[in-house]
């Protein structure tokens, strides 16, 4: 029943025509009461293509497509493909700064936008962008398109595009979290082929009822497998507009959803919502067969929760707009799903794990993942600077991810190489430390990153969401007891009830870094006042030196420096502060001899007495 994708032949116009013919009366899309068969979806897309031509959109034109999760997004995408225009698919959360940069880079000839987003009217912003960029000849808002009487339009055969399989199908944005996203051109056949391979990895078929719960403008939800992979298999795609757990749960029950894709944080939110508002979770998730977990690192707790509480198969998926996709398969046992991000969905990709010099590391060792293949980008669109750094001379894309390949094929990802924290020459990978912190008592989640420091290079900083009452000192003590190297113990630990999230529900570490920098500064300013309750003047000064070094005020007379997170590097820094403060010559042996702050204070008093 599925449509076969040929890397040498398939294109969007050809596949849309085949969908219309082969699946005609089957339901393709359901969107808030609107139900379209494959015939209706494709027919309306054709008419919309004719309408776009009348409005001045031409073949090869770059068209910014800025819409949310509705069937209109799919129809506009298909319509542009059918007339040979190139959609530039932007995130619904993009604002004037990002859209302006994208419009300038692509020399966009048209802009299709929603009129309002989350209750905010965007008319003036869109008009402002058009005014800045005279290349934009055509501007269309969603409400204009919906109210247009396209039933009278027909797409002539002469106007139907017949692109080459290697022509650009559309341009998507990179998933980077900083700055204006890079632009990734995607080829016709390779993109469709990747969607089909992802659909295969999920086991989709004509009975599939796939919930597009996250923004469909992200490449993961276009073809990972997303709605396109669902259509290739003859299934039904159900659009979820808001991504709220309440709406996701309602649609899962109402539409008997069989598969969906969620970032880990949303999966966790959905389970929490169902536990709070529903009596029987097995009934709530009765129709679910598989949940894809991608977009960010997924913890064992969430994978286990999806398996046990959603009563379905959790699928780890590691993918990117640049085109590389790894996934676990439905027949993987749970212990493998917990260990690995999966295997490559493309048999034609060439994948390597390399060291900092670009040399392959021995099998099973960690390094940077690089890859090339039919659907993997070979360049960013009009971005020479990024192309020089992100692609090797022989055409491999540098993912920037630290990974290893077990048995030469099973992928384990431990984090971003760029996220590595260099603290006094020691290398710490946030993902590893986050995993250890999550195992601590009364800790639900953790986010780790580095904060620049003039003395140490970086301070290891952690934000923690507690499950119940705990403290930074307790977490540090438990980490040390677990056998974790002392240089990996966080310098600063802060607490939050929840994490700020990006538009794709990833933890917004940039926001956390800004917050942490302010908290560290504030903590430093408050340290002197904090120890006013210590009557012993020597102990008070020593406590301040400890606090300045360890970035914590949780210091008492019986506190142990190492148990608070100190190590040989921070100990040297702290001893220097003490010697400057007291004019002594304390050494490392003095610190390790002293059981706690009180004992060290007595050693300091003895030295001061000897000097007299």
The CATH number for 544's domain is 1.10.1200.10
- Do 40 and 116 share a domain, yes or no? yes
Q: How far apart are CA 133 and CA 156, in angstroms?
A: 31
Residue 569 scores a pLDDT above 70: no
Residue 178 scores a pLDDT above 90: no
- Do 570 and 450 share a domain, yes or no? no
- Do 476 and 550 share a domain, yes or no? no
The DSSP bridge pattern shows strands 325-327 and 343-344 to be: antiparallel
Q: What is the DSSP letter of 342?
A: B
Residue 323 scores a pLDDT above 50: yes
What is the number of other CB atoms lying within 10 angstroms of the CB of residue 141? 18
- Do 392 and 534 share a domain, yes or no? no
- Do 493 and 380 share a domain, yes or no? no
Q: Check which CATH number belongs to the domain holding 178 and give it.
A: 3.40.50.980
Sign of CA dihedral 525, 527, 532, 536: negative
3-state secondary structure of 181: coil
Is residue 277 in a domain? Answer: no
- 402 to 147, 153, 411, 432, 580: CA distances (angstroms): 50, 52, 10, 11, 41
Q: How far apart are CA 432 and CA 299, in angstroms?
A: 11
Confirm if 202 and 168 have CB atoms less than 8 A apart.
no
Residue 386 scores a pLDDT above 60: yes
Least confident of 190-204, 348-362, 382-396, 407-421: 407-421
- Do 494 and 582 share a domain, yes or no? no
State how many domains the chain has: 4
More confident residue, 175 or 231: 231
Is residue 561 in a domain? Answer: yes
Is residue 512 in a domain? Answer: no
Q: What is the mean pLDDT of residues 291-298?
A: 86
Residue 508 scores a pLDDT above 60: yes
Q: How far apart are CA 551 and CA 114, in angstroms?
A: 47
- Do 402 and 446 share a domain, yes or no? no
**pLDDT score at 551:** 67
Is residue 90 in a domain? Answer: yes
- Do 424 and 534 share a domain, yes or no? no
Q: Check which CATH number belongs to the domain holding 453 and give it.
A: 3.30.300.30
Tell me the two tokens of residue 23.
């699946």
Give, in degrees to the nearest 5, the angle at Cα 63 between 62 and 66: 145
The DSSP bridge pattern shows strands 313-319 and 290-293 to be: parallel
Least confident of 207-221, 393-407, 513-527: 513-527
Average pLDDT score, the chain? 91
Q: Tens digits of per-residue pLDDT, 2-29? A: 999 999 999 999 999 999 999 999 999 9
- Do 451 and 467 share a domain, yes or no? yes
More confident residue, 379 or 520: 379
Confirm if 71 and 33 have CB atoms less than 8 A apart.
no
Residue 283 scores a pLDDT above 90: yes
Confirm if 214 and 227 have CB atoms less than 8 A apart.
no
Q: Which of 362, 382, 417 is the last residue of a domain?
A: 417
Q: What is the mean pLDDT of residues 153-174?
A: 97
Sign of CA dihedral 382, 388, 390, 393: positive
Q: How far apart are CA 566 and CA 485, in angstroms?
A: 11
Confirm if 327 and 315 have CB atoms less than 8 A apart.
yes
Tell me the two tokens of residue 48.
């919309």
Q: What is the mean pLDDT of residues 405-425?
A: 87
Is residue 36 in a domain? Answer: yes
Q: Which of 212, 233, 254 is the last residue of a domain?
A: 233
- Do 392 and 489 share a domain, yes or no? no
Phi, psi of 252 (to 5 degrees): -55, -45
Is residue 2 in a domain? Answer: yes
Q: What is the mean pLDDT of residues 59-75?
A: 97
Candidates 265, 177, 180, 276; CA nearest to 214 is 265
Q: How far apart are CA 272 and CA 501, in angstroms?
A: 17
- Do 126 and 73 share a domain, yes or no? yes
- Specify which of 242-246, 328-332, 575-579 reaches the highest per-range mean pLDDT: 328-332
**pLDDT score at 117:** 81
Residue 455 scores a pLDDT above 70: no
Residue 137 scores a pLDDT above 60: yes
Tell me the two tokens of residue 101.
């940069």
Q: What is the DSSP letter of 443?
A: E
Is residue 152 in a domain? Answer: yes
Q: Check which CATH number belongs to the domain holding 378 and give it.
A: 2.30.38.10
Candidates 291, 219, 208; CA nearest to 249 is 291
**pLDDT score at 504:** 67
Confirm if 601 and 591 have CB atoms less than 8 A apart.
no
- Do 93 and 181 share a domain, yes or no? yes
**pLDDT score at 587:** 83
Show the domain range for 34. 1-186+222-233
What is the number of other CB atoms lying within 10 angstroms of the CB of residue 33? 5
Residue 273 scores a pLDDT above 90: yes
Is residue 492 in a domain? Answer: yes
Sign of CA dihedral 499, 504, 506, 510: negative
**pLDDT score at 177:** 44
Q: How far apart are CA 261 and CA 170, in angstroms?
A: 22
**pLDDT score at 483:** 80
């Amino acid at each position: 029943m599925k449509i076969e994708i040929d890397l040498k032949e398939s294109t969007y116009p050809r596949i849309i025509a085949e969908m219309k013919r082969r699946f005609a009366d089957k339901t393709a899309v359901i969107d808030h009461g609107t139900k379209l068969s494959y015939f209706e979806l494709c027919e309306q897309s054709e008419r919309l293509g004719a309408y776009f031509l009348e409005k001045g959109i031409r073949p090869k034109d770059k068209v910014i497509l800025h819409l949310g999760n509705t069937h209109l997004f799919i129809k506009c995408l298909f319509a542009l493909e059918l007339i040979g225009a190139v959609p530039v698919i932007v995130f619904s959360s993009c604002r004037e700064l990002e859209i302006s940069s994208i419009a300038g880079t692509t020399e966009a000839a048209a802009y299709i936008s929603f009129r309002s987003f989350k209750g905010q009217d965007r008319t003036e912003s869109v008009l402002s962008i058009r005014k800045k960029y005279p290349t934009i000849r055509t501007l269309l808002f969603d409400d204009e398109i919906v109210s247009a009487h396209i039933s009278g339009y027909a797409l002539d055969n002469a106007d139907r595009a017949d692109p080459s399989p290697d022509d650009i199908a559309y341009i998507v944005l990179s998933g980077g979290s900083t700055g204006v996203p890079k632009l990734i051109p995607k080829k016709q056949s390779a993109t469709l082929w990747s969607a089909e391979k992802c659909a295969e990895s999920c086991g989709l078929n004509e009975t599939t009822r796939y919930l597009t719960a996250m923004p469909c403008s992200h490449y993961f939800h276009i073809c990972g497998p997303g709605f396109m992979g669902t259509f290739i298999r003859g299934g039904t795609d159900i659009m979820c507009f808001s991504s709220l757990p309440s709406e996701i749960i309602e649609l899962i029950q109402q539409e008997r959803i069989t598969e969906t894709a969620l970032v880990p944080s949303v999966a966790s939110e959905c389970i929490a919502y169902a536990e709070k508002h529903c009596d029987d979770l097995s009934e709530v998730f009765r129709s679910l067969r598989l949940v894809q977990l991608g977009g960010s690192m997924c913890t064992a707790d969430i994978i286990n929760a999806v398996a046990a509480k959603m009563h379905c198969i959790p699928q780890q998926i590691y993918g990117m707009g640049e085109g590389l996709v790894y996934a676990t398969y439905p027949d993987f046992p749970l212990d493998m799903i917990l260990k690995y991000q999966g295997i490559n969905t493309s048999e034609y990709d060439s994948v390597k794990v390399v060291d900092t010099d670009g040399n392959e590391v021995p099998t099973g060792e960690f390094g940077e993942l690089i890859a090339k293949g039919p659907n993997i980008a070979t360049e960013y669109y009009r971005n020479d600077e990024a192309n020089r750094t992100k692609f090797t001379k022989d055409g491999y894309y540098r993912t920037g991810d630290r990974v290893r390949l077990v048995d030469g094929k099973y992928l384990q990802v431990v984090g971003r190489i760029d996220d590595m924290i260099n603290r006094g020459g020691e290398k710490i990978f946030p993902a590893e430390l986050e995993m250890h912190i999550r195992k601590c008592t009364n800790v639900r989640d953790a986010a780790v990153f580095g904060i620049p420091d003039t003395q140490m290079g970086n301070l290891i900083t952690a934000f923690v969401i507690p499950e119940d009452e705990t403290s930074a000192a307790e977490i540090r003590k438990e980490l040390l007891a677990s056998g974790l190297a002392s240089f990996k113990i966080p310098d600063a630990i802060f607490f939050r009830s929840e994490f700020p999230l990006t538009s794709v529900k990833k933890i917004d570490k940039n926001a956390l870094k800004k917050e942490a920098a302010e908290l560290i500064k504030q903590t430093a300013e408050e340290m002197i006042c904090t120890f006013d309750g210590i009557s012993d003047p020597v102990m008070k000064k020593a406590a301040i030196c400890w606090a300045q070094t360890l970035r914590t005020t949780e210091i008492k007379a019986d506190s142990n420096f190492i148990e608070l997170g100190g190590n040989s590097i921070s100990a040297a820094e702290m001893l220097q502060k003490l010697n400057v403060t007291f004019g002594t010559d304390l050494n490392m042996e003095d610190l390790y001899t002293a059981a706690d702050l009180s004992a060290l204070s007595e050693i300091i008093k003895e030295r001061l007495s000897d000097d007299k």
